[in-house]
Amino acid sequence: MKEKFSISFVLPMFNESQNIERTIGTIRNLASELTDEYEIVIVDDASTDAGARIVEVMKKNDPTVRLFCLKTNTKFGGAFAKGFEEAKKDVIVYMDSDMPVKLEDIKASVPLIADFDIVTGYSKVKKGDTFFRKIVSGTYNFLVESLFALDVKDINSGYKVVRNSVTEGIKFVSRSPFVDVELFMHAKRKNCTIHQYPLIFMPREGGKSHIARLPVILATFRDMLKIKLLSRKKTNS
């Protein structure tokens, strides 16, 4: 690694009681190989399970763990935004709370941030999604590329490495997974450099994903329309 950065590991969490203790433990063991200074920022998106209580116990014995609990569920976007807002270190390593990324990929991709502003993961194998999810994903990706001119292979990837300066002063609007698109829109305006890193996302060891719920999908498309209208207003003003 050319230079060592301090790192904020940011993990939005919703009903991840089966995974979060293991994830935090893995990050603790990994962190010393990447940096001399780190923090683990957990943002609980109004979970209904014991996830937040598990983190609270771990936090008492580990000052690197920071926990923020949202009062109402934001369908991911609010937790994502809060995590980036609270991150205090030079570099943000964002990942899903079930930690779907292999350690060797984290070790290989984090050093790349020395040469880029964002390193974003994308799956190098096709996911075995249902027909419905393929239709939704295909439509979503087509609209993102068409409406916002963003050429990112997996824009909602569950793994990103971001210089903290990229999001400095940014107020995220979306409260859905569309917040990922907002991140790249801001990065594009700032002429940030982006590297797309190929990896294989690992299957969950416990719990289940909540991103594909119909309310989340509808909220994502509503946020897409909202952000497009806001960006049009800025362009015309």
Q: Say which residues have a Cβ less than 8 Å from residue 138's Cβ, sequence separation at least 6.
A: none
Average pLDDT over residues 67-92: 95
Instruction: Say what the pLDDT of residue 233 is.
Output: 77
The angle subtended at Cα 126 by Cα 121 and Cα 132, nearest 5°, is: 110
Taking 70 as the threshold, does the pLDDT of residue 128 lie above it?
no
SS3 72: coil
Average pLDDT over residues 53-79: 95
Instruction: Say what the pLDDT of residue 177 is.
Output: 92
Instruction: Say what the pLDDT of residue 124 is.
Output: 84
Q: What superfamily in CATH does domain 7-236 come from?
A: Spore Coat Polysaccharide Biosynthesis Protein SpsA; Chain A (3.90.550.10)
Q: Say which residues have a Cβ less than 8 Å from residue 104's Cβ, sequence separation at least 6.
A: none
Residue written as tokens 């329309």? 225
Distances (CA, A) of 150 to 24, 76, 113, 171, 177: 32, 21, 20, 20, 16
Instruction: Say what the pLDDT of residue 237 is.
Output: 60
Quick one: pLDDT band at residue 60, thresholds 50, 70, 90? very high
Taking 70 as the threshold, does the pLDDT of residue 231 lie above it?
yes
pLDDT in tens, 13-32: 999 999 999 999 999 999 99
Average pLDDT over residues 218-233: 90
Average pLDDT over residues 171-184: 94
Of the candidate ranges 41-50, 141-150, 205-214, the one whose mean pLDDT is the lowest: 205-214
Average pLDDT over residues 176-184: 95
Instruction: Say what the pLDDT of residue 136 is.
Output: 81
Phi/psi of residue 201, nearest 5 degrees? -75, 135
Instruction: Say what the pLDDT of residue 202 is.
Output: 86
pLDDT in tens, 95-120: 999 999 999 999 999 999 999 999 99
Quick one: pLDDT band at residue 134, thresholds 50, 70, 90? confident
Instruction: Output the average pLDDT for the chain.
Output: 91
**pTM listed for this prediction:** 0.90
Structural domain spans, the chain = 7-236
Asked if residues 173 and 222 have their Cβ atoms less than 8 Å apart, the reply is no
Orientation angle between helical segments 51-60 and 20-34, nearest 10 degrees: 40
152 vs 136, residue with greater confidence: 152
Instruction: Say what the pLDDT of residue 1 is.
Output: 42
Q: Say which amino acid occupies 129.
A: D
